[in-house]
Structure 1
Amino acid sequence: MNEKVIRNQRKWQTIIFVALIFVLTYLSADITNFNIIHGIATLPDAVTWIFANLFVTQETLERLPKILEKLVETILMSIAATTTATVISFFLGLMGSKTTGTSSVLGAFARFVASVSRNIPVVAWALILLLSFGQNSVTGYLALFVGSVGFLTRAFIESIDEASHSAVEALKATGATYFQIIYKAVIPQCLPQMISWILFMIETNIRNATLVGILTGTGIGYTFDLYYKTLNYNAVALVTLSIVLSVIAIELISNHIRKVIL
């Protein structure tokens, strides 16, 4: 009898949840004047336009060296922002972790920094920094850096907290110093997971850097925006294809590295 009651409760909870989703969807569409049926009806025309305009021509391929130069610039900026953010995030992670934290005040500070920088989108950071630094590569780098610090700090705190406490306690019992505990117990256990998070952040930053570049006037994002505004859709197709292939290649390399270290 109890099992039947529980099943009925779950059934009604599911029905209520689905109904709530439909109501929220309808209200959202009504408030924003979005016609779902019209959107679905125009989808074939949109796909037809894409295949009719976004294709690479022989003339467009002459622009490939310049596009690749900007693409490499974007990738290097993403890697630089991630690696420098990793250093800051590591120390913030040690401060914020319950396993390695030495002060509740420093721990709260580390978690506050992670929360603020992580919950504000990278695009918003780019707009904020744009007012101070203008349209240049420094603005794009800083926007990616700040966003990376928030994400990696949170990830590092969780990775350190999940580490085995027995090794830490054993070293404390032998009289090891704080930095010896970090070097001998924490880093060996957390390093594979941290490297995985760093690789994920590099992939994410390369995607974000394209959008940030449109705002800051740098990298492959600026090139994409330039061709798009001049209605050079063949060049837009080549830029898009280059971005997609580079992201796939980096993801494959990252997945291979993860298989090796995990």
Structure 2
Amino acid sequence: MQADFFAKKRKSSLRFFVVLAAITICAIIMTEYNVVKGFESLPRAVTWALGNFYPTQESLVKLPNILKSLVETLLVSIAATTIGAVFAILFAIMGSNTTKINGFFGSISRGIATIFRNIDVAAWAMILLFSFGQSSLTGYFALFFGSFGFLTRAFVETIDEVSEGSVEALRATGANYFSIIFQSVIPSSLPQMISWVLFMIETNIRSATLIGLLTGSGIGFTFNLYYKSLNYDIASLVVITIVVSILLIESISNYVRRVIL
């Protein structure tokens, strides 16, 4: 029986890789991508980066302005994530099979979350540009909508997995709906929810760089400004500050996860 199981797994894996290889080959043919030329260009790209894309002593003068833009990006990302999490908790409670008020509101909540989750933050930024123009507010709402959709889905699954047993126990004792929410659902789900929020903050900080290119704000706009003006030394300094900030936020996030989980 065990040999048959592993044989089936190997066949499934083989079929997956065959399909993946076929899709890759079709994509190469359709896009007329030259694989050989692509690999040949890598050494030239690395040589150019090592010779041009590095910070110099003169570029350090711009570091205060870069850090100011970076702080703006970090604050927008954190604000969008935390506010999105508040709304996500409300919609997750209404959309969860464990805590939903009725099937109608549950379907509406999950449907709204699905729509917001499946539209990329870059697409949200382009849509919102028509209403708010190039500003930090556009980036904030783009990150907020993306965070709201993702976190609602994550919170729904968390509530369904973590709280089902305790919810049934409270219902058996005759507890009302709000007692169940505040005495069982939120306390038992909160550590995992915080973990999801921290993950979303990390993701939004990465996404905010791209959003800044579109909305003309934050660290993304700063990078685009110096890169397009051929100030590669300053642009490289921007990239380094972004990488360092992401690594720092990720280390803090991992530490908090270890403490709460």
Structure 1 and Structure 2 fold alike (TM over 0.5)? yes
**Secondary structure of the corresponding residue to residue 56 of structure 1:** coil
Structure 2 residue aligned with 1:90: 89
- Residues 21 and 167 of structure 1: CA distance in aligned 2, closer, same or farther (over 3 Å): closer
- Residues 11 and 157 of structure 1: CA distance in aligned 2, closer, same or farther (over 3 Å): closer
What is the correspondence of 1:142-181 to structure 2 with a 5 Å cutoff? 142-181=141-180
**Secondary structure of the corresponding residue to residue 98 of structure 1:** coil
Paired with 2:9 and 2:173, the residues of 1 have a C-alpha distance of 53
Q: Deviations over 1:52-72 (max 9, x none)?
A: 111111110000000000000
Matched residue count: 261
Q: Deviations over 1:95-116 (max 9, x none)?
A: 1101100111111111111111
Q: Percentage identity across aligned positions?
A: 53
Structure 1 residue aligned with 2:241: 242
The residue identity in structure 2 corresponding to 1:29 is: I
How far is 1:11 from its partner?
5.0
Paired with 1:12 and 1:27, the residues of 2 have a C-alpha distance of 23
How far is 1:4 from its partner?
7.1
Paired with 1:154 and 1:245, the residues of 2 have a C-alpha distance of 30
Unpaired runs of 5+ residues, structure 1, are none
How far is 1:176 from its partner?
2.1
Q: TM-score, normalised by structure 1?
A: 0.95
Contact 2:84 2:144 in 1 (8 A): yes
Paired with 1:68 and 1:75, the residues of 2 have a C-alpha distance of 10
Unpaired runs of 5+ residues, structure 2, are none
What is the correspondence of 1:125-204 to structure 2 with a 5 Å cutoff? 125-204=124-203
What is the correspondence of 1:117-132 to structure 2 with a 5 Å cutoff? 117-132=116-131
Paired with 2:169 and 2:192, the residues of 1 have a C-alpha distance of 22
- Residues 101 and 13 of structure 1: CA distance in aligned 2, closer, same or farther (over 3 Å): closer
How far is 1:165 from its partner?
2.6
**Secondary structure of the corresponding residue to residue 62 of structure 1:** helix
Q: TM-score, normalised by structure 2?
A: 0.95
Paired with 1:8 and 1:245, the residues of 2 have a C-alpha distance of 45
Paired with 1:28 and 1:43, the residues of 2 have a C-alpha distance of 21
- Residues 173 and 207 of structure 1: CA distance in aligned 2, closer, same or farther (over 3 Å): same
**Secondary structure of the corresponding residue to residue 161 of structure 1:** helix
Q: Which moved more, 1:103-112 or 1:151-160?
A: 103-112
